[in-house]
Structure 1
């Protein structure tokens, strides 16, 4: 994040005041947003229980990333929905409703139907602080509500809400940094018939039974890959479902889950879009999602996402798992009125309830079946029927790789959903459910090697591509990420069944400081009082914090240090290059196999606790005489080769050989003040990102820099040219 903006951010994203139109006019409420991002799976949660698509900041950002370090180049745009439906309901005003549905999402928080309870972000230990040259460095601000060493996970979100149908829901969401369990979050949710239909503590409906309550979840998720296949990036998602009894599952037996991946819906006719092959580069800026050197063909979207059910109560009086839940599964189009019934519209609420209920028909889709499950599945409707075979058979990969109907990928694809119930809850009764959400895919080195070979082959979908002794077609490599999803679900299940007793990695450093110098970059750190490490590893990359295309995006291990080390001087650095770091605490060899955690391996603290997102670089000693001051590059030409600009940032201008303490005032040719830099770090370097004081990018033209030595008062004027 831009250091100039950080002092202004604070906790601004933790609590956001909102007024939504289309809701009751007196509703003016707050929605809280919190991230769970301690492992590779990053997800932003809202206090109202849904992650809607809202066009204005700070909600505009994609809310789901894997791996989280690559958040600038892709991510998942989520429009999620949460519905609570009941029959024969009488509201607090005495008005009867044959069907009543309280919804949250897909495009608003629906604060007139769900009334959020206080939301908490709880840490097992304090948030580590990371500094680069004295400034806090982070991808997004994190403010813990409190620290509780007794929680089973690294971080936990607690949230809940009352609803206007008298049902109160509460949820705990667990995130782990154990590297074998950091690709998913586990969600425990309970719905109770409290009779509270609004935000206050008064119970309006203390005696009402919730008849045939249906609980439904749906999410239209645009799986994004970097730009390169289409100008706007890859964003069409294909969906499959397992566990509805419609097909033999083999080793997947007992799993109930949706699977989503980037499908082959594209206007680019010369390649198959599965996996998001990148065939053209960006313009040298990571914010464009890819850089201009990133056109080797790597697979920018070779991953899958899942929602998998671990447990659903049989009834309010029987908390054992009901393997027949969810009772309804299927899909719908994102714009259907059933996904967004108007507030107070009884007919639309009836349609939505009918769609959720396994025994009721919905006119547009027809009765989904006697058991409530749509079949064929969405993915099957887009793929050829042959070769047929069990879900875990090789035939599945062949059919999905040969997707024929690309029209179903329009506007990001269809919306998968599942519904639980019907449950009848007397006052005070509850039901609970546990499920996971997560993502997994090809490692970066595999996606690079396979994608490059695919591009070099002329985009041949039939050619086996070899990596590490295995040969598959490009599509088979991509769809093979399903095997990682299977392993993730099994591990998550084992974790939950163990009571979350999986082994924990050692604690990360409490503070991590990176300080640029004139001949080296010095890294120092401190530890928690109860630290349990055996040593440290320091990792580094250059130019972009995601990694560098020339290094295949891999960080390099530059130091292995003992348990007592607290400082490291990195002298193997080159002037003019930006460097990014993270440090990991190293633990003992793991001997605890709980949760299917492999034994014999060494657990390390998560990189995300100490990752730097701002560059460190060598700085010159202060200049000796003002006449040596230089502006580089001059002229600045946007279309020039990236190597004769700064490779880490598209818009970057340097002032070299300046006094250690000086003011740099930048003016236009007409004498307008553009930007002022207070340089006080005692070095001879300063950089400017070519923006005005109001953070607007400057235009082409002639500019002047007035540099004033704060010690002597001496001034010098330097002219430079910007060509865009």
Structure 2
């Protein structure tokens, strides 16, 4: 009786809501998320994206249009993440449709009922009902410190809920969401942070007719007819150009993105994959089609739009009782106007839902793809949809999904492109009309042919990602694990700037692996989004960077690597695999500190007095309790006492610099109180003057300093 009453009250509420929506017929064009959205970032590799518990990453869906219209038009699907402003996602869309549907909320029969997630609207808790979103990790991210302060993006972006050391994926996001037609969607996003696999995600969907239509668990058992699962992918290229202020006016939302399709109709075209492929189409604003391929920057030093993005099918159930892969799915592949093609959302608008279902979700395959229609013309000149065109795929219709039936669809989304070094070299060669050697070793007939051929190798990289994803998927299906996981990363990484060196220390992985070969340390200069150089290769767990120069900012990461025995990649078989650089990449600079003092009389305590009310005048609010000791010898012991002689803490200073800091913590990690304190400094070993060769400070030399703390 209790369940029945809950069901009736729930249906009454949604009936009232449906009535309001029926009378409010105007479709909004503003991007919006209603309801409690949760997101998880995948941040541990070269491909980064955010995932919504609403199953689709819609336009402006992460932070909203009101706050971020000028920054978030392209948001997510970041590659290569090592460099800034590499976003490609404008909107991800999922629609689920059925026919002849008696709606328990509106009490209407709909010829076509469509539940929509995007492109601009996401109705949480009125159309879709998230149950959970969680991140599972093979291990947690390491503790990364620079000068004893947190220095990793992962501290904020990598929110792991469950640790599973037996999984092959570095990270997996699991989402479960119910819909108003009673289909529960479970989505698993698999990511492998290994150099051969770090440019793709595997999306594993299971659609089950549970009958659950709301957050209260209300179950309405229905057999669903002619069920279709539909995705759209709206992409854009050249985010870097937009941020730097020289992009074409409409490329930021994909007006010139080109969509192509391969493998439709059961791979009868000879393709290896069933896939949609997207790339940057030369823009009319350039005035030169061939010159604009890849979009060279104004200084002709780099191309900012040389990527290919694609979605391929790894598996699609033939039917609810036949789990074999149906090579004729998706049954619909087309391109859709990102603004005009029935993108509104209203699950009680019968005409709108019928147009969605018949014109878009079950349209079949077009005679020509978007790319074929554009040909060698400017992509932004095609068509009359000012928002550009999105790639669309429709799976089904599946004739009958009875209560309890399920359909599984597995996709891979990948990005292929030139590596940054090759990209820059090709751009310079093209601009200078020299060294025009093609990938096959022959010489190009023109600079434009040279650049175009190299850019199009990004499609080869995309296809390689599809192949790797297919192999991984098959291995997981067969054994539950993959044959070539990335080595586990070190569990911690500490970088300390000293007076004559920068000290690097790390701890071994929490889980040992049999083919361990060593560690490698890489260093970048001036900023973290740059290329890094190898500076150490060995089996020790520390390294002193003595080549660092004063006044220069340095960024580091350390990786474990194996002996290459598990690397079977066709292009680099047998070469060692490394843990992902992003586990330990520092996001704060390390620098050489001031040189050590030569006399104990030079030691100063700063600030003195320390006053908590003057944080902004001292070391700022993020290090509000910091006290610094300046003018120290290269090595010394610092003992801090209360005025009556109680030992508060002992600090060992041995980094070769003249600086040390103290966060006003006792040896038991308690914050000290206001009062007068005494610092005792004692040299721990003889210090030799580098010029004279004589002893400048002897072991045991000491001095006291008094200071005041006001809290």
Normalising by the residue count of structure 1, what TM-score does the alignment of the two structures yield?
0.73
Q: 1: distance between equivalents of 2:608 and 2:258?
A: 55
State the Cα deviation string for residues 694-723 of structure 1 (Å, max 9, x = none). Answer: xxxxxxxxxxxxxxxx97899xxxxxxxxx
User: Partner of 1:544: helix, strand, or coil?
Assistant: coil
Per the alignment, residue 677 of structure 1 pairs with 619
Partner Cα separation in structure 2 for residue 713 and residue 681 of structure 1: 11
Q: Give the unaligned 5+ runs of structure 2.
A: 1-19, 25-32, 445-449, 621-625, 632-656, 659-678, 680-704
Q: Give how far 1:680 is off.
A: 3.2
2:297 — aligned with what? 278
Does 2:403 align with 1:427? yes
Which of 224, 241, 253 pairs up with 1:227? 241
Q: 1:374 aligns with which of 352, 355, 366?
A: 366
CA contact (8 A) 1:23 1:110 kept: no
1:365 corresponds in structure 2 to: none
Report the Cα offset of residue 96 of structure 1: 1.6
Cα 1:173/1:182, change in 2 over 3 Å: same
CA drift at 1:681: 4.4
Kept in 1, the 8 Å contact 2:567–2:576? The answer is no
Alignment-derived partner of residue 78 in structure 2: 65
Decide which of 453, 467, 487 is 1:476's aligned counterpart: 453
Measure, in 1, the Cα distance between the counterparts of 2:609 and 2:367.
67
Seen in structure 2, the aligned counterparts of structure 1 residues 192 and 543 have a Cα distance that, compared at 3 Å, is same
Alpha-carbon spacing, 1:117–1:476, altered in 2? closer, same or farther (3 Å)? same
Which residue pairs with 1:212 in the alignment? 226
Deviation digits for residues 327-353 of structure 1, max 9, x if unmatched? 111011111252223342211111111
Tell me the SS of whatever aligns to 1:417. strand
Task: Tell me which of 31, 37, 41 is aligned to 1:31.
Answer: 37
User: Aligned-pair distance for 1:602?
Assistant: 1.1
Native 8 Å contact 1:154 1:176 kept in 2: yes
What do the CA deviations read for 1:574-623 (whole angstroms, capped 9, x no partner)? Answer: 11110011111011222463x86953221111111111111111121489
Equivalent position SS for 2:371: helix
In the other structure, the counterpart of 2:203 is: 187
Q: How much has 1:125 moved relative to structure 2?
A: 1.4
For residues 269-301 of structure 1, give each alpha carbon's deviation from its aligned partner in whole angstroms, at most 9, with x where no partner exists.
Answer: 25732212111xxxxxxxxxxxxxxx3421122
Q: What root-mean-square deviation, in Å, do the aligned CA atoms of Structure 1 and Structure 2 show?
A: 3.4
Residue 129 of structure 2 is matched in structure 1 by 115
Aligned to 2:498: 517
SS of alignment partner, residue 118 of structure 1? strand
Following superposition of structure 1 onto structure 2, how do residues 252-651 of structure 1 map, counting pairs within 5 Å? 252-253=271-272, 255-269=273-287, 272-279=291-298, 295-336=299-340, 338-358=342-362, 372-383=364-375, 402-408=376-382, 413-423=388-398, 424-457=400-433, 464=436, 469=441, 471-472=443-444, 473-499=450-476, 500-532=481-513, 533-547=516-530, 554-562=531-539, 565-591=540-566, 593=568, 599-621=573-595
Of structures 1 and 2, the larger Rg is shown by 2
User: Higher helix proportion, which one?
Assistant: 2
Q: Secondary structure at the match of 2:563?
A: strand
User: How far is 1:519 from its partner?
Assistant: 1.8
| CA gap 1:676/1:379 in 2 versus in 1, 3 angstroms | farther
**Bigger mean CA deviation after superposition, 582-591 or 470-479:** 470-479
Change (3 A) 1:602 1:673: closer
The 8 Å contact of residues 85 and 214 in structure 1, kept in 2 or not, is answered as yes
CA distance in 1: counterparts of 2:330 and 2:506, whole angstroms = 49
Query: Is the CA contact 1:622–1:682 (under 8 Å) kept in the aligned structure 2?
Result: no
CA shift for structure 1 position 191: 0.6
Which residue is equivalent to 1:396? none
Give the conservation status (yes or no) of the 8 Å contact 2:59–2:120.
Answer: yes
Residue in structure 1 matched with residue 99 of structure 2 by the alignment: 87
Partner of residue 199, structure 1: 215
CA distance in 2, matches of 1:598, 1:452: 27
Residues 90 and 235 in structure 2, CA contact (< 8 A), matched pair in contact too: yes
Deviation string, structure 1 residues 519-560 (Cα, Å, up to 9, x no partner) = 21111111234223321110001011111xxxxxx3111111
CA-CA distance at 1:256 after TM superposition: 0.4
Structure 1's unaligned 5+ residue stretches are 1-21, 280-294, 359-367, 384-401, 548-553, 626-656, 666-671, 687-709, 715-724
Q: How much does 1:48 deviate?
A: 0.8
Contact 2:555–2:590, Cα closer than 8 Å, also in 1: yes
Contact persistence 2:267–2:274 (CA under 8 A): no
On the 8 A contact 2:90/2:236 being kept in 1, the answer is yes
Residue matched to 1:157: 173
C-alpha distance in 1 between matches for 2:605 and 2:439: 52
1:661 alignment partner in structure 2: 606
- Give the match for residue 238 of structure 1: 258
Does structure 2 conserve the Cα–Cα contact (< 8 Å) formed by 1:222 and 1:412?
no
CA deviation string 1:58-96 (max 9, x = no partner): 8937211111111x2332132111101111111223322
SS of equivalent residue, structure 2 residue 431: helix
**CA deviation profile, 1:476-508 (whole Å, cap 9, x unmatched):** 211221111111111211111122422122211
Equivalences, count: 571
CA distance in structure 1 between the aligned counterparts of 2:115 and 2:457, rounded to whole angstroms: 39
Provide closer, same or farther for how the CA distance between residues 23 and 479 of structure 1 changes in structure 2, counting only shifts above 3 A. Answer: farther
